[in-house]
Structures are given as C-alpha cells and as structure tokens.
Amino acid sequence: MWYVQVARREYRRQTVSRLLGGPRKGCVALALTIVGLGFFRDWWFKLACDSQPEWPFLFDNYFLWLGYLCILIGSILVFSSYWALGFYGTFLGDYFGILMDNKVTHFPFNLIDNPMYWGSTIIFGGTALVKASLSGLLLTCLVAVCYKIAILFEGPFTTEIYNKSNKMV
C-alpha cells in the first residue's frame, strides 16, 4: 500500500514532520489522507456493486444475513482495533517516532493478527453479499490481496522500529 511507503520514507527522513512542524502533525496529515482516500475507495466499491447486475445465486436470505453478520463482525474488529491502538497507533504513528509503551495483546489482537485490515476486508465481503454483487466479491478478493501485501511490508518494519527503540521486544 502507498501509505506504508510514505510512512517508511518519513521514518528514514522525517520530511513530512519537518514540513508540518512535528511528528504529530505529520501523522495527522497522513491519517487525514488515508481516511479521505478510504472514503473515496469505499465510494468506488459501492458504485461498482450498485452498477453491476445482481448475482441471482446470492438472492437467498442466508447470504443476506451472512452479509449483515460479516459487516457486524468486521465493524467490531475495526472499531475495537482503533480503540486498542488509539489514533497514533492506528495511523502509523510509530513511523513518525510516536511509539506505544507496550504491544497490544488484548481483544481483538488476541483473536487475529492485523484485525483492522481483516475486519475491513470482512466488511467489504459482507457488503457484497448484502448487495448480491459478484463484482463486489471479486473486489473484496482484490482488497484482501492488497492488505496481505501491506502486512508483509508493514509487520516486519514495525518490529524493526521497536527493536531499534528497545520497546516491546
């Protein structure tokens, strides 16, 4: 994902922090960009689901209720992750030098690694089921692949940051 590359560059050069007057302001700017582009992505996802024909196979009420359940579970994972990490923990504050004191190990992190990414993916899948959208299900698979790639880059680098700082080792 693009924001991981931006955050890595910030970690190495502190360009955004210097331009905006500090790491917290830089992190807020990155967060606003991520959230704004996330709304844009969600709008395009909705547009793709709504503009394509519904898939008759998914008209069964079972898929409708499964979709709503996925949206609920995904939302719980996303919001509880945000609650556990806080603003700076959620929006790559560690890349700006804003480190957490301890590794978060309680819910939802005790159930699944990267619950915000996977929760978001589950929400996309649930939305596709509710809308009976084959294109939405295919886009959900694309989202999952993109998030998996981001995790492969983000996880080890975050570990490296904390190992260098001697926190949460």
Do the annotations mark residue 160 as ligand-binding?
no
pLDDT beyond 70 at 163? yes
Report the alpha-carbon angle 93-97-102, nearest 5. Answer: 75
Closest to 41 in 3D by CA, of 154, 152, 161, 147: 147
Contact 115, 109 (CB under 8 A): yes
User: Considering the entire predicted model, what is its pTM?
Assistant: 0.86
Q: Nearest-CA neighbor of 32 among 10, 5, 3?
A: 3
Please tell me whether 154 is known to bind a ligand. yes
| Mean pLDDT value of segment 43-59 | 91
Q: Is 129 annotated as a binding residue?
A: no
Residue-level pLDDT at 36: 95
Element at 6 (helix H, strand E): helix 2-13
- Domain coverage including residue 93: 2-165
Q: Residue 167 has what pLDDT? A: 56
Query: How many Å apart are CA 31 and CA 91, to the nearest integer?
Result: 6
The first and second tokens of residue 82, run together, are 């945000």
Nearest alpha-carbon partner for 89 in 11, 1, 24, 38: 24
Q: What is the pLDDT of residues 63-100, one digit of tens each?
A: 999 999 999 999 999 999 999 999 998 887 888 888 88
What is the pLDDT, as a whole number, of residue 103? 77
Whether 72 has a binding-site annotation, put simply, is yes
Neighbour-count burial of 77, counting CB atoms closer than 10 A to its CB (0-12 exposed, 13-18 middle, 19+ buried): buried
Q: How many domains does the chain have?
A: 1
- In angstroms, rounded to a whole number, what is the distance separating the alpha carbons of residues 75 and 88? 19
- pLDDT band with cut points at 50, 70 and 90 for residue 2: low
Residue 73 annotated as binding site: yes
Read off the pLDDT of residues 10-32 as tens digits, 9 standing for 90 and up.
777 888 888 888 889 988 998 99
Residue 169's pLDDT band (cuts 50, 70, 90): very low
How high does pLDDT run on average in the chain? 88
